[in-house]
Amino acid sequence: MPLIQVAEHKLFGGLQRRYEHHSNSLNSVMQFSVYLPPQAAKGKVPVLYWLSGLTCTDENFSVKAGAQRVAAELGLMLVMPDTSPRGELVADDPAYDLGQGAGFYLNATETPWAAHYRMYDYISQELPALVNAHLSANGRQAISGHSMGGHGALVIALREGGFSSVSAFSPICQPSECAWGQKAFAAYLGNDKAQWLQYDAAYLLAKTQTTLPILVDQGDADQFYPAQLRTEALLDANQRSQSGAQIRLQPGYDHSYYFIASFIEEHLRFHARHLAG
């Protein structure tokens, strides 16, 4: 499907853009943001997909994280999708942690969500195909995210091939065992716990000895740690699988974009090393 450009700003020699398109996966119109580094004007560049957290749109990361300066230096395209389908005909819920803005990066199977909420397919298949077809992407890709988006990044990277590396800030590591995840999974997937585990990063990491480079940062002053984020479950899974993930507890940091802005340069350089390999 064609991309419609709806905004553009010059930034660090590159271009910050916003696109709109009809998504077949989600049966709705979607928007996503892109940072094209200056190198993209002369040739194709690798891509980092960023998945945002609950209540966010495609613009939170581009406005708050301060990532474009380093991305311009590294020649790294940043692609930032929305967190769910949206629109009057898309199912929603009054709560912030279900419905629009809370897609949880899965493929819903339950009514009324199944008609639109197929974010797993959108992120893992449809969006990369669009980016590779219409933008100056060289086919090499990595993925990262925050909170609900950290969950999505880890799950998609662990289940799908084709990513050079994955990183996460404050991810929901074991959604099948926390209130956020249990509420969303019951609504979107029903009561089949086997389906829940297919979207549980701790479970997936524990059962697969992966060589995928993984970097996770978690602040120890995060108001959602440990109850909702369950970082220790990911640490245990990493130890049991001997997968070698770097999982770091950062003293004094909370769940905000101040935390992300403090460490985003390290994450971008981590991905750039593996994208170049």
* Widest distance between CA atoms in the chain: 51
Check residue 145 and report its DSSP letter.
E
Which position among 255, 267, 271, 274 bears the catalytic label? 255
Which position among 146, 222, 243, 271 bears the catalytic label? 222
Catalytic residue status for 147: yes
Catalytic residue status for 21: no
Contacts of residue 150, Cβ cutoff 8 Å, sequence gap at least 6: 51, 53, 144, 168, 169, 170, 171, 172, 216
Q: Which of 187, 171, 162, 174 is nearest to 236 (CA)?
A: 174
Check residue 176 and report its DSSP letter.
G
The helix/strand/coil state of 212 is coil
Q: Note whether 87 and 29 are within 8 A (CB).
A: yes
Q: Which of 206, 225, 207 is nearest to 217 (CA)?
A: 225
Which position among 124, 147, 167, 170 bears the catalytic label? 147
ω into residue 46 within 30 of 0, thus cis? no
**Alpha-carbon span 25 to 28, nearest angstrom:** 8
Catalytic residue IDs: 147, 222, 255
